[in-house]
Structure 1
Amino acid sequence: MRNRTILIVDDEPRSREGMKKMLSAWAMGEYDIMTADNGFAALAILGETPVDLMISDISMPEMNGLSLVEKLNDMLLPRRPSVILISGYAEFEYARQAIQLSVINYLLKPVSKDKLVAAVEEALRAGEENNRIGLLQKMADPQLIAVKEEEAVLSDPVRMAIQYVDEHIEEAVSLKDVSEHVHLNGSYFSSLFKEQIHMTFSEYVARRKLHKAKELLLKTNLPIAEIAERIGYQTAKYFNKVFKEYESMSPGQYRSEMNKTEADI
C-alpha cells in the first residue's frame, strides 16, 4: 500500500518549508510531503502523482490558489485531492469562491501547527469518505437502484417476484419458478414484469446475482468458482461469461481493480 501524499503549494520559501516541517513531524513517515513553489509546478505534480490533499496559498504570482483549484477541478484524475486554501489576510470574496470550489478548509496566515494539523486531519477524513462513496457508486447498478426507488408503485405479483429472487439468490431462479410462485401464466408474468421493471426477468435476475457477486468479490477472498456457486451458477465459466457481458471485465479483473482503488483510499 502506498503512502498517502500531501502537496504544499506556496511561492514563499519560508512559509512553504515551515508547513512542510510541521507536517513532516506530525506525519512521522506515514505521509509523503511534497512541495511546489507555483501553480504550474503543482499541476505537473498532480498530473503524475496521486495526491490525497493539496494545501495552497491563495496569493501567488501568475496563477493564484483559486485558479489552481479551478484547473484541478477540470483535470481527469483517478481521484481528486481534498483542498485547503491559505490566505495572508481575511478576504470574504476569497472565502466565498473557495466554498464554491468545494474547498475543505480556508485558513488565515500565520497558521499555527495545531490549526494546520487539525485542518489536515479533517480534510483527509473528508477525502476518505468521498472515496468510499465513490467506490460504492462504482459497485452500484443504476437499474437496480431505479427498481428499488419504484418498488412502492409496483404491482403485488412483481413485488413478490423481486422478493422471491432475493430469497433464492443462491439458486438457479427461472421464470417458470417465479410465475408459479406468484400464480400467473408465464407469458403474462413475463410481459407484466418487463412493463413495470423496464428489463426482462432474466436480465433482472442476472443483474441481481452480479450485484451479490460484487459484494463477495470485494468483501471475501472466496475463489471465483465458489462465488459462482453461491449465486446459483453451475459453472465458473458461465459466471465469467455473464459477468464480462455486464461489466466488460472478468470477475478476477473486477476484484483486482476495485481492491486496488480501495487500497489507495
Structure 2
Amino acid sequence: MKTSYMNLNKILDLKKWNNLQDSLAIVTKLAIITVDYKGVPITHHSGIRPFCKTMRGDPNMAKLCEKCDARGGLEAVRTNTPYIYLCHWNIVDIAVPIIVDDKYVGAIMAGEVRIADSEEQQLLEQMLTVPTKGLAQVYNKEEIKRLYDSIPTLSYSEIKEAAQMLYSLCNYIVEEAMNKNLILEVYEKMTPLKENSSMDDFSTGYSLDNIQHIKRELANTVTNAYVKTTLNDHLVCKNTTLQPAFDYIFKNKGEKFSQQKIADLCHISTGYFSRLFVKETGMSFSTFISLKKIEWSKQLLEKTDLPIAQISDELGFNEPGYYIKTFKRYENVTPSVYRKYYQEKL
C-alpha cells in the first residue's frame, strides 16, 4: 500500500465527512472532531459545547484539555477499541482510533457530555487530576457555572452505543477506502492510461457504485444505535430453517426486504418459505415486516429528533407518504402526532 494512503485525506472526503460528522453529532448528542495521528484537527468541531469552547479558548485550560485528548487517544490506540474516559472536569470523552494496516493514522474524538448516574461515572478513568482549588477558581464564575450546567447528560449505555456506532462506521469507511485504493493501484500497474482518460474518472465511477451500499450501512448503524430489540426479536425459531431469515431482518432494519431474497437465505422456495413463515409467526411475511418497521420507527420517534422523512428513509420505506399511511393504519395516528403525544407524557 502506498505511504500516501496513510494521509487521512486519502481515506476521507473531508467535505462529505464534515457534513456527516455534523449529522452524527445531532443524532448521538455528542460533540465530534476528527484529528490526524499528530492530534491536529482535520475537520471542524461539530456540536462543540459552549463550556468546552470557552475552556479551549483559555491558554491554561486548553493545555489540560489537550493532555486529556492525548492520553485518551493513546489508550484507544493501545486497545484498538473506542476508549471512554473522563476529563479533568468529569466530562465524558471518547477516542475512536482510525487504524490502517496496523498503523494509527488518526482518531475521531467525541463526547463533551456528562454521565447521568454518579455510580456509572466511577466506572470511567479520569485522564487528568487537577487540584480542586485551581478548577474552583474558574467554576465559581457565574457564567462558567451556567455553561457547565448546560452540558447534556446521557446514560452510560447510550454513550457506549454511540461509541460503538462511531467505531463500526469508521472501520467500514476505512475498509472501503482501502479496497478502493488497492483497485486503483492495480489499475495503474496493469492498464496504461489512455490519452482521454484519467484515474479521477475511474475513482469517481467506483465511488458512485458504492454510494447506496454506504448509505444502507449508515442507516443500519444509526437505527441500531437507538432501536432496542425485544427478546422476541432474537428468539430461536421452532423451525430452524427460518433462523437465517430472522437474523438477517433484525440486523438490517433499514433494508427494503424482498421475500425472494429472504427465502434464498433459507435455501428454500418462496412458496415453501411463505407457508413456514405463517406457521411460525401467525402472519404473512409482508404484514410481519410492516409491523416490525412501525415498532422500530416508534422508538426512533421517541428517542430522537430525526425528521419523519429521515425515519422513513432509514427504515426502508418507499417514501414518507407511504410510511405515514402505514403508521396510521396500525397506530390510528400519524407519526408526528405520536411523537407529540409521547413527548407531552414526559
**Structure 2 length normalisation: TM-score?**
0.33
**Structure 1 length normalisation: TM-score?**
0.42
With a CA cutoff of 8 Å and minimum separation of 6, indicate the structure with the bigger relative contact order: 1
